[in-house]
């Protein structure tokens, strides 16, 4: 269990760990190195987080909760605007970019925090919102490509102007969703 006695210390630990996980990877980062960077003993770090996995959860859960909130808000609407939802997903990932970078840097963190399970649930929810209930394979692939492409674009264009990247990424995602399905053979 995480000790909430000193939020500023907790926030410092999370910030240093986020940087370590993003630059070295989750598996390669050690709690000893994180503690040393903070000027702590490893025991002092364990006072706040019982394991590296607990620390990883503290880093990632706020992003996953925000993502759930965005999806829940869209699901509560009768006919959610797909373009608005895609823009909100972009904004969410942008606002949690340091955490998103950790996930993109080292997939082993996905297993440590069971993000693979959440990802599967998100795919179902996003597909339902973007292409309707009971999507077929083509619709599911398009929904995943639209959101996955949007997310990957943010990661690969991090040094470019975010507003321009967002506009173009959302436009491209909408084109993926609305592509003509006619067989041209």
Determine contact, residues 10/2, Cβ cutoff 8 Å. Answer: yes
Q: Residue 132: left (phi > 0), alpha (psi -120 to 50), or beta?
A: left
Residues of the chain with pLDDT under 50: 1-2, 184-185
Determine contact, residues 54/17, Cβ cutoff 8 Å. Answer: no
Q: Which two tokens stand for residue 9?
A: 């210390």
| CATH number for the domain whose boundaries are 7-177 | 1.10.357.10
pLDDT in tens, 99-130: 888 888 888 888 778 777 788 888 889 989 99
**What is the model's pLDDT at position 185?**
45
Q: Which residues contact 115 (CB under 8 A, 6 or more apart)?
A: 60, 64, 103, 109
pTM of the model: 0.84
The rounded distance, in Å, linking the Cα atoms of 105 and 59 is: 14
**What is the model's pLDDT at position 137?**
92
**What is the model's pLDDT at position 5?**
54
| Segments making up each domain of the chain, as ranges | 7-177
């Amino acid at each position: 269990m995480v000790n909430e006695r000193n939020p500023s210390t907790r926030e410092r630990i999370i910030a240093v760990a986020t940087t370590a996980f993003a630059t070295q990877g989750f598996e390669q980062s050690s709690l000893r190195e994180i503690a040393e960077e903070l000027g702590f003993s490893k025991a002092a770090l364990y006072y706040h987080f019982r394991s590296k996995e607990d620390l990883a959860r503290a880093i990632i859960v706020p992003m996953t909760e925000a993502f759930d909130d965005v999806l829940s808000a869209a699901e509560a609407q009768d006919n959610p605007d797909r373009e608005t939802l895609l823009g909100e997903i972009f904004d969410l990932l942008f606002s949690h970019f340091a955490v998103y970078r950790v996930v993109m840097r080292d997939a082993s963190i996905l297993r440590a925090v069971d993000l693979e399970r959440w990802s599967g649930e998100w795919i179902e929810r996003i597909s339902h919102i973007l292409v309707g209930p009971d999507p077929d394979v083509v619709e599911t692939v398009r929904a995943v490509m639209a959101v996955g492409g949007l997310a990957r674009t943010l990661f690969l264009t991090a040094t470019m102007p975010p507003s321009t990247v967002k506009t173009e990424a959302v436009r491209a995602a909408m084109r993926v969703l609305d592509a003509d399905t006619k067989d041209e053979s």
